[in-house]
A and B are shown apart, each in its own frame.
Chain A
Amino acid sequence: MTLTEFVIATIVKILLVLGIVSALAGFGTYLERKVLAFMQRRLGPMHVGPYGLLQVLADGIKLFTKEDFVPQNSIRPIFMIAPLIGAASAFIALAAVPLLPEFKIFGITVHPIIADVNVGILFVLGVMATGLYAPLLAGMASSNKWGLLGAARTVIQLLSYEVVTGLSVMAPLMLVGSLSLIDINNYQANGFKEWIIWQQPVAFVLFLIAGFAETNRTPFDLLEHEAEIVSGFATEYSGMRWGMFFIGEYTNMITLAFLASLVFLGGFNEWGFLPGGLAIILKVSFLFFFFLWTRAAWPHVRPDQLMWLCWKVLLPLAVVNIVITGLVLMM
């Protein structure tokens, strides 16, 4: 493959991933509203299009045509660039994630990963953590006390979950011996019994909990919990800048679902009679549904409870898990 071909192929992949994932993120808002509604015995959006299917479109028109409002005493450039950081970091994180198994189309073998970095999981987690700059900068720049509180909570949250994410992933990485997501996937190639979740159930639970905190989803949605701090960091935002935070959040959810299914749930290997591509899409859909499910079922925690949980419960558990894994590996 020449350099030109490589560049063109990469650009096509980038455009495809960007288009499909941002469309999915938009559709995700519709799904979330529907699933939450059904779980609460409501109907959800019903008026735009059949069963409200075009609601996303209506929301998009609304967001794009809304006034782009910047409050008076805010720090203008940072206020304007913060949502871009959120959306961009979410999509950049997706670059190192292998989305599907490689397949052939028109005689060309396609690797559905934009950049096969050999430290893939480090890259993804690092870039996703960078995404926390978005609420932090947004909250601090918007000259609003709710925004400031949201930003302060961002720091609390980052300090809490980030350690747990890293430590919980470390035990599976010790088993695999590689940071590349493709290697991790290939480690589980021999079917259902080889999934890492059976060897590392504790790490899986810890990773999911930390992931909920990372994507700012309901049990840990401290940053913008409207009953306490209006809308947190997003209080002063409107229109598409606000929408960008949402696209970032939903993209992060998709990325995290991919990560969890790649590292713990067997990735895109064939699962029984299911081909690999379908298998990973099913796993990711289930994890995405799980995100919505917990939002309907569980109350959210206070910031101090989150710190208590992460530092006093999850961190020791993760360390113990690593030690035991290490001992077992040595024997």
Chain B
Amino acid sequence: MSLDQFKDRNVTQNYMFIPVDKPPVAPLEKFKQVLKRTFKGELFVGLWVVFREMVKFNIHTVQYPKEKLPISPRYRAVHKLYRLLESGNERCIGCGLCEKICISNCIRMDTRYDENQRKEVTEYTINLGRCIFCGYCAEVCPELAIVHGPRYENASEQRAHFVLRDDILTPLDFLKEGKQEEFPGFGAVSPNADDRIKKTPLAY
């Protein structure tokens, strides 16, 4: 679809009117219509269509807990906190941007300076009861530390099961097995990010 077509909001362009005959009024016309509908065999067309579908056996059911439909990498479900691939340290630098930008005020973090005078995150919770999954936190994060994962099945006995940092942070053993995939979805850098970097214009 070209851009012109896409921008055209005149939705009627591809619509056409199906000619509908006026319902008959005269008794003879009504009788003719009944005869036509009776002997046209439309009922058998219906029978044939459903029988064909049964024989084709083209089943569309997804047996949900056993099989799941693939979801888009841009899907915004329960958050994840990522670790640095080599050192295994947390990527989060405790800048607090996500806490600041969160429009439903559901992110809460505590930080302190560790012995190397680096910021360390001690508490990081997301109240998923309030979160509207807008994705601003993932978008604003400068370190790609918080992202939206694909886990949409958030039914649990307690909502506290989802809010704690331990639940969303990549486990260390998981990281060591190399299973933390760089996230291609929401908040991730685009594949050609390096080309798009511009030098800070210091000339003025």
Contacts and interface: CB of A to CB of B under 8 A. Distances in A.
Interface of A: 35, 38-43, 46, 293-294, 296-298, 313
A39 B54 CA distance: 5
Contacts of A46: 63
Interface residues of B, number: 15
B49 interface: yes
Contacts of B61: 41-43
Interface string B58-72: 111101000000000
A85 B34 CA distance: 38
B60 A38 contact: no
Contacts of A298: 43, 46-47
Contacts of A42: 59-61
17 contacts: A38-B57, A38-B59, A41-B53, A41-B60, A42-B59, A42-B60, A42-B61, A43-B61, A43-B63, A46-B63, A293-B50, A293-B51, A294-B47, A297-B43, A297-B49, A297-B50, A298-B46
A151 to B, nearest CB: 29
Contact of A39 (B51, B60, B63): B51
A38 B58 CA distance: 8
Contacts, number: 37
**For chain A, what secondary structure do more than half of its interface residues adopt (helix, strand, loop), or is it mixed?**
helix
B50 to A, nearest CB: 4
B106 to A, nearest CB: 37
B59 A39 contact: no
Nearest to A35: B54
Contacts of B53: 38-41
Given A35-B54, A41-B61, 5 more contacts: A38-B57, A39-B50, A40-B50, A41-B60, A42-B60
